[in-house]
Structure 1
Amino acid sequence: MIRLFHVSDLHFGAEDRAALDWFAARVAAEQPDAVIVTGDLTMRARHTEFAAAAEWLKGLGRPLTVEVGNHDIPYFNLFARFFRPYRRYQAIERLIERPIDLPGLSIVPLKTTARFQFRLNWSKGVVSDASLRAALAEIEAAPADAMILVACHHPLVEGGTAMHSRTRGGMAALEALGRAGAHAVLSGHVHDPFDLPAPAGGRTLRLIGAGTLSERVRETRPSFNELRIEGKALETRVHAMD
């Protein structure tokens, strides 16, 4: 059996130190096979926030892979956002979309952030044609018997949470991922956990969202997901801090 801890929205700069310590203690005690972080490591994409996030992630001492979120791109510094949006990632660059080598499992990254969108709220998700093609190519290259988990920041479709993702191209991407053979899509952004079936591409995928370990909670206390994989069976458990 493979055990994964799925966490999201750490928001260093607005982090909940007690929640971070609680999660780190659970990792140390239970030693999951890997940790998946689905974006928003920082609050304002500052160098100091990335450095703090990198130090904390390193301290977990487990294999891990990281997706970036909308808060990880400079928001108020438009020059940096348009021309150097990823320069501040250097502290965690080697962790971004890092492959996890576990037998029978393939974690496929799908980028849902954008430097610019034709709408006022740039925090919402968007799946570009290039990002989708890259994800589909990785699914095609995966072993035929692998459990395929797609990791992105924004939910591709709404998960019934108080906060919305409104991901442009999300439904079409979900259909394409289903046809390609994906089993589940892991995401964050909305700060509340969910686990929903979604018909796509002639089959049913799981949409699994993680909560937050920051002060920016919604309806759920700081939490993370535990994923248990055995063959093609996938079980999820939400762990919320007391």
Structure 2
Amino acid sequence: MRQEFTIWLTGLPSSGKSTLARLVEAKIRDRGFPVMVLDGDEVRTWLTLGLGFSRADREENIRRIAHLAMFQNRSGVATITAAISPYQRARDEARRAIGRFVEVHVSCPIEVCEQRDVKGLYKKARRGEIQGFTGVSDPYEAPLAPEVVVRTDRESKEECVARIMERVEELGYLPRGQVRCEVIVPADLVDELGTNGSSLLAVLASREARLGRAGGPVTAEEWEKIEQRLRALGYLR
């Protein structure tokens, strides 16, 4: 029997997290299951507006992503997160919150990550133009006991994806073979979905955004930007 779960991809910038997340997403969707990717860079533009790159803000960013993943799982949607999430403590908290949690360390030497960095962020960080950049001026704490370690400098994308999928199946979160399924929406979301015609993601994002950061609620300006982003994506009318 399928169980909703979250695959949490963590690793240095430009290690290959987003690429693998999209490939794993396609594999799960091809198997007939609802699945969604929460990409760290994209999430920062609408769910975690106003957060910087201090340790506290980074931990809060991870907390919000974890809560949204948890809500999606409860709604019958498998979730894949692709976020640097550099701190062990924050990842452990995400694991406790989510429950069915598959931590994937996307391992890659920093030298290779720098070569892949088309945005030139590593170079800017080494010149001091970017402060608190993971791997340069801020630490990356590698997972202590991840469910999967993929080495993107040695393994092909296909090999990495195959090993992730194999582990998910071993854990019993996905059956082998092609299976079609439906999303079961919790009763407390039905009225909200029916009232405003929003997608499930929009409702979940709305709820999480209103929870606010640890130190206080999301500001009206931040919430307005979140709504604008969701409308642009077609999630709000």
The TM-score with structure 2 as length reference comes to 0.31
Q: Give the number of the structure whose residues are more often strand, by fraction.
A: 1
Query: Please, what TM-score do these two structures have when normalized by structure 1?
Result: 0.30
Higher Rg of the two aligned structures: 2
Q: Which has the higher helix share?
A: 2
